[in-house]
C-alpha cells in the first residue's frame, strides 16, 4: 500500500486546482483520472470551452467542419497545458486508472495491469457528472443518437436536428446548430420556455428563437426512437406526433458520476438525487473525505467547482469562514443568440419572498451601443428592494450580458444600493453604461 497526504479522484477544475495548491505546500498528492481525454475536466474538454468555440464560430459564419477542427485544436492545447502543469510537479503523481474505494481510507487503482492500494489522510472526490439518458423505448444506441458530449464530435452538420429537452443545454445547442445551418426541433415536457425565468424575458427569448425558425413541441415527451434504414431517425412523441431528423440530441440534464467508485464499501452517503452528501464545508459523511464539483449535486458550473476548492482550502488552512452557507449571488449565462444572463431573484420570486420591489426595464434597442454593434435584440430587467435599495436580481437578455452580469453580482455582494450602478460614470459607447438608464427606477 502506498501512502499520500492527499488522494484526489478526478482531474476536474476543483481537483486539479487543489492538487497544485496542496503540492505547492509540499503535500504528497496522488491525482487519479481514468480518462486521459478528460485532463482538465468537463469544462475544458466537453462543455464550456468547446461549445463556446462553436458558438463563436457559428456567429462569425465559419463553416461547421472548420469550427469542429478549431474546437479540437483549442481543447487539445488546453488539455495538454493542464496535464503538464501537474505532471511536471515533483509532489504530484498522476495515475491513469479508475479509482474504487475499498474502505474509508483505501482506494484501489490499476497500474501496469496490477491492482494497487493507495491511502491518504485526506481524500477528495471530483468525478463530475455524466449525461442523464431519459427512459425511452427503441434504438437509444443508434449512431444517430447523441448526448451533448458526443454531438460536438460529429464531423458533418446534421441537416435536421431534433433535441429532446428544452433546458439550458438544449436551447444553447438549438441556437448554436441553427447558426451553422441545421433545421432544429426542440421537444420539451414544459408548458412554456424556461419556466424558472422572468416571463417577460422568456417571451423575448421565445420570440428570437421563433424568428430563427426553431420549432418547439411543448407539453410533449419523446417516448420512442426508431432508427430508419434511410439514414433518418424518427421520434414518437407522447402527443402522438412524430419528428424525423438526421440526428437526435438527448439534452435531459446531467447526473453525478458516482458509478464504480465503490462507495458501498465506505460510510459515504448519497442524497435522494444520487449526489454525494456533503456538509457546508464539502466534507462527506466520512470525516476525512470531501466531494467537490458536480458530483456533490447542485449547480453544475466550473466556477462553482473553483469556489468549492476555495471552501476546502479555507477549511484546511484558513479560518473556516468560507462555506456553502456564505456562497451568494451565483450568476449564470446561457449562450444562445443573443445570450441570456441572470443573477438573483426574478420579480415573481421576490414577491413570493415578501419583498416590496421596484423594477427597472430597458429594451436593448434603446441603448446607443446596440446601434453601434448593430444588434438591437433583447431586454434588460432588474429587481430592487424598495426598503433597503439593494439589488435583488437581474435578468439580462442581450449582447454582452455574460460580462455585464458580473458587475451586478459584484454590487450585490457588496450590498451596494442600486444607485451606485445608476450613478456610476462609465466610458462610452459601451453596454455597461446601460445601467445608468436600467437602474433609473
Q: What are phi and psi of 197, to 5 degrees?
A: -100, 165
Of 122, 367, 371, 428, the active-site residue reads 428
- Can you list the alpha helix ranges (DSSP code H) found in 25-122? 42-46, 48-59, 64-87
**DSSP letter string, 249-301:** EE-S-EEE--TTS-GGGSS--B-TTSPBP--TTSB-SSTTEEE-GGGG-S---
- Using CA atoms, how far apart are residues 99 and 108, in angstroms rounded to an integer? 6
428 is annotated as an active-site residue:
yes
How many CB atoms are located within 10 Å of the residue 291 CB? 28
Q: What are phi and psi of 38, to 5 degrees?
A: -115, 15
- Using CA atoms, how far apart are residues 185 and 243, in angstroms rounded to an integer? 8
Place of cell 454590487: 411
- Using CA atoms, how far apart are residues 173 and 9, in angstroms rounded to an integer? 30
Q: What are phi and psi of 264, to 5 degrees?
A: -65, -15
Please say whether the dihedral angle defined by the alpha carbons of residues 232, 51, 339 and 370, taken in this order, is positive or negative: negative
Closest CA to 347 of 194, 168, 199, 192: 199
Active-site annotation, residues? 428
Amino acid at each position: 500500500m502506498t501512502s499520500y497526504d492527499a488522494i484526489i479522484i478526478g482531474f476536474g477544475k476543483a481537483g486539479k486546482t487543489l492538487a497544485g495548491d496542496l503540492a505547492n505546500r509540499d503535500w504528497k498528492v496522488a491525482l487519479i483520472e481514468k480518462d486521459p481525454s478528460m485532463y482538465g475536466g468537463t469544462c475544458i474538454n466537453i462543455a464550456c470551452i468547446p461549445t463556446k468555440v462553436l458558438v463563436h464560430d457559428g456567429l462569425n459564419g465559419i463553416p461547421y467542419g472548420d469550427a469542429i477542427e478549431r474546437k479540437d485544436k483549442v481543447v487539445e492545447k488546453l488539455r495538454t497545458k493542464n496535464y503538464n502543469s501537474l505532471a511536471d510537479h515533483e509532489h504530484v503523481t498522476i495515475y491513469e486508472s479508475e479509482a474504487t474505494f475499498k474502505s474509508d481510507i483505501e482506494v484501489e487503482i490499476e497500474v501496469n495491469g496490477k491492482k494497487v492500494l493507495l491511502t491518504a489522510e485526506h481524500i477528495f472526490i471530483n468525478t463530475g457528472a455524466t449525461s442523464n439518458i431519459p427512459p425511452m423505448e427503441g434504438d437509444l444506441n443508434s449512431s444517430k443518437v447523441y448526448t451533448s458530449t458526443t454531438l460536438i464530435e460529429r464531423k458533418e452538420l446534421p441537416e435536421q436536428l431534433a433535441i429532446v429537452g428544452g433546458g439550458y443545454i438544449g436551447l444553447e445547442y438549438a441556437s448554436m446548430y441553427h447558426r451553422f445551418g441545421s433545421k432544429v426541433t426542440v421537444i420539451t415536457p414544459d408548458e412554456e420556455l424556461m419556466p424558472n425565468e422572468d416571463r417577460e424575458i422568456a417571451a423575448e427569448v421565445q420570440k428570437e428563437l421563433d424568428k430563427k425558425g426553431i420549432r418547439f413541441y411543448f407539453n410533449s415527451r419523446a417516448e420512442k426512437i426508431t432508427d430508419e434504414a434511410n439514414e433518418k431517425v424518427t421520434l414518437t412523441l407522447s402527443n402522438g406526433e412524430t419528428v424525423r431528423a438526421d440526428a437526435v440530441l438527448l439534452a435531459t440534464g446531467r447526473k453525478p458520476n458516482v458509478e464504480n467508485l465503490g462507495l458501498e464499501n465506505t460510510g459515504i452517503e448519497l442524497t435522494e438525487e444520487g449526489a454525494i452528501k456533503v456538509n457546508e464545508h464539502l466534507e462527506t459523511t466520512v470525516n476525512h473525505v470531501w466531494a467537490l464539483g458536480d458530483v456533490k449535486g447542485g449547480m453544475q458550473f466550473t466556477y462553482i467547482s473553483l469556489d468549492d476548492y476555495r471552501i476546502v482550502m479555507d477549511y484546511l488552512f484558513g479560518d473556516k469562514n468560507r462555506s456553502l452557507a456564505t456562497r451568494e449571488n451565483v450568476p449564470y449565462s446561457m449562450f444562445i443568440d443573443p445570450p441570456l444572463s441572470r443573477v438573483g431573484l426574478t420579480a415573481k420570486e421576490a414577491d413570493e419572498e415578501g419583498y416590496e420591489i421596484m423594477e427597472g426595464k430597458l429594451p436593448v434597442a434603446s441603448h446607443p451601443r446596440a446601434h453601434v454593434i448593430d444588434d438591437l435584440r433583447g431586454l434588460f430587467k432588474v429587481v430592487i428592494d424598495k426598503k433597503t435599495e439593494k439589488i435583488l436580481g437581474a435578468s439580462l437578455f442581450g449582447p454582452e450580458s455574460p460580462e455585464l452580469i458580473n458587475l451586478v453580482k459584484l454590487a450585490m455582494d457588496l450590498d451596494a444600493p442600486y444607485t451606485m450602478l445608476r450613478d456610476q460614470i462609465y466610458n462610452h459607447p459601451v453596454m455597461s453604461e446601460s445601467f445608468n438608464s436600467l437602474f433609473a427606477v
